[in-house]
Amino acid sequence: MTLPSTAQGTVSRTDATVYATSAAILGAVAGQAADGHALSGTNTAINSAVNNRLLHPDEQKTLAQMKKGQSPQEQYRLSAAACADTHCAAGLPANTPHIATLEALQATGQNYPLERAQLRETHLFGYSSWNAITDAASRYEALTRVTGAIQAAGGLVGYTAGGGMIAAGCETGLACVAGFALATTSADYAQAGYRQMVSGTDTPTLGQQVLTDLGLSPTTAAWTYAAMSLGAGVSAGAASAVTAADGVGAGAAETGVGGIGAGGNSAAENTASPVTARNFFGGSRYTSKVLDQSTSGDYHGFPQSVDAFSGDGTVTSITGGDGVTRWRLTIPGSYKGQTSVFEFIRNPDGTINHRLFVPNG
């Protein structure tokens, strides 16, 4: 999933260009309405927007000093020359409002060699290779697209995890609800991320749009929905832990550590209750013999994940020649291209001393 970005304290060159363009057009209109001098209004707007948003502080200060005492026409020529030397339209995406106006300003500035020469004498207003690279990335919304791709990938991971919990059979109500919530919110983030990757524009999730329609601000809606999605993930993790604790108790076998399994009950407590397919591994532990055999690569070495399907198996009690009653669990399945049963035998003390896929059993 992707959390919403926080507001930035600075404005990028691309954003600044949009501000400058819009301000220039509005300034021209305001100038005409006030006294008929559109150029004067345009210069006022460009000065305000460019000086505060676009240029480096040294460039701002220098340009302002150069414009002092100049006519509106000369101020405009200096602004256009600065735009040309800094390639002020180069980083704009094609769908930027008024992009044609700013491109025209940049092109016009190329025709003012005197003003451009004056700017070069300051050793400012340059355009480096790094500027060209960042402008190219900005023009094609590279960062926005990459962010969308990462969000889409994260959403798919969450959707797969949530769907896996549901497909596992919803062993508890919490697991079922948490799995559904995780899958749903993750799918929402995935689709929004994919659309953002393709379009190159920030794309809100459907959940965020609903919260916005309910009266929340876009930022608050984004954070709220992110918290809801995060909560679903935490709940899903907790539900998985609960399911593991209540179901399969063979975690010790996987790590090679003997002791009480994940069921949380002692061996004595388990033998006091009937052993069923569902609780077969509760409070159990594998013997060292079984652990050694599980790494042999033969029919003893089937995956640990088989133990999780004990509920699909059948338990029968068997009495050996020593008069001790044990429990035999068989789980139907396939291994090494054969379909048969996985067989386990549990002792009264909770140890499992037999674990084998029985070929042709």
- Within this chain, do residues 261 and 275 fall inside the same structural domain, yes or no? yes
* Residue-wise DSSP of 285-334: EE-HHHHHHTTSSSTT---GGGGGGGGGSEEEEEE-TTS-EEEEEEEEEE
d(CA 349, CA 113): 95
- Residue 353 has φ and ψ, to the nearest 5°, of -110, 5
- Are 115 and 78 in contact, with CB atoms under 8 Å apart? yes
Please indicate, yes or no, whether residues 295 and 354 belong to a single structural domain of this protein.
yes
Percent of the chain with pLDDT over 90: 25
Q: How confident is the model at residue 43 (pLDDT cuts 50, 70, 90)?
A: low
Mean per-residue pLDDT, 79-96: 83
What pLDDT, on a 0 to 100 scale, did the predictor assign at position 30? 37
Together in a domain, 221 and 105: no
Flag whether 5 is in a domain. Answer: no
Same-domain pairing of 258 and 219 = no
Indicate whether 171 and 157 sit together in one domain.
Answer: yes
Would you state the torsion angle of the CA atoms of residues 84, 86, 89, 93, taken in this order, to the nearest 10 degrees?
160
Among residues 187, 157, 183, 158, which one has the least CA distance to residue 170? 183
Which of 214, 198, 345, 215 minimizes the C-alpha distance to 284?
345
Specify whether the CB–CB gap between 88 and 106 falls below 8 A.
yes
Confirm whether 259 is domain-assigned.
Answer: yes
Residue 249 contacts residue 281 (beta carbons within 8 Å):
yes
% pLDDT > 70, the chain: 71
Angle 72-75-78 from CA coordinates, rounded to 5°: 155
| Burial class of residue 275, CB neighbours in 10 A (0-12, 13-18, 19+) | buried
In this structure, which amino acid lies at residue 153? Answer: A
pLDDT in tens, 305-316: 899 999 999 999
Are 235 and 267 within one domain?
no
State both tokens at 255: 């790590």
Residue 8 lies in a domain: no
Angle between helices 72-86 and 113-120 (to 10 degrees): 70
Pick from 83, 75, 61: nearest CA to 91: 83
Domain-located, residue 6: no
pTM summary value: 0.41
Which amino acid would we find at residue 323?
A: G
Query: Does some domain include residue 69?
Result: yes
User: Are residue 196 and residue 280 in the same domain, yes or no?
Assistant: no
Specify if 2 maps to a domain: no
Would 157 be classed as within a structural domain?
yes
Q: Are residues 242 and 257 in the same domain?
A: no
Closest CA to 208 of 195, 193, 196, 219: 219
Domain-ending residue, one of 192, 225, 246: 246
Residue 233 has pLDDT above 90, yes or no: no
Cα–Cα dist 120/219, whole Å: 43
- Domain boundary (228, 246, 264) is at 246
CA atoms within 13 A on the CB side of 78: 24
- Rounded to whole angstroms, the Cα distance separating 213 from 169 reads 35
123 and 196 fall within a common domain: no
Taking residues 8-35, report their average pLDDT: 41
Report the 10 Å Cβ neighbour count for 75.
Answer: 22
What DSSP state is assigned to residue 68? T
Residues 95 and 82 in one domain: yes
Which of 246, 276, 299 delimits the end of a domain? 246
Same domain, 156 and 39: no
Residue 232 pLDDT grade (very low, low, confident, very high; cuts 50, 70, 90): low
Number of domains in the chain: 3
The residue behind tokens 């704009």 is 92
- Average pLDDT over all residues of the chain: 75
The answer to whether position 4 is within a domain reads no
For 178, the 3-state DSSP assignment is: helix
pLDDT tens-digit series, residues 130-141? 888 888 887 778
Are residue 95 and residue 181 in the same domain, yes or no? no
Residues 6+ apart with CB under 8 A from 290: 253, 300, 352, 353, 354, 355
pLDDT confidence of residue 240? 57
Structural domain including 79 reads 13-139
Greater pLDDT, 15 or 163: 163
Please tell me the predicted confidence (pLDDT) of residue 142. 80
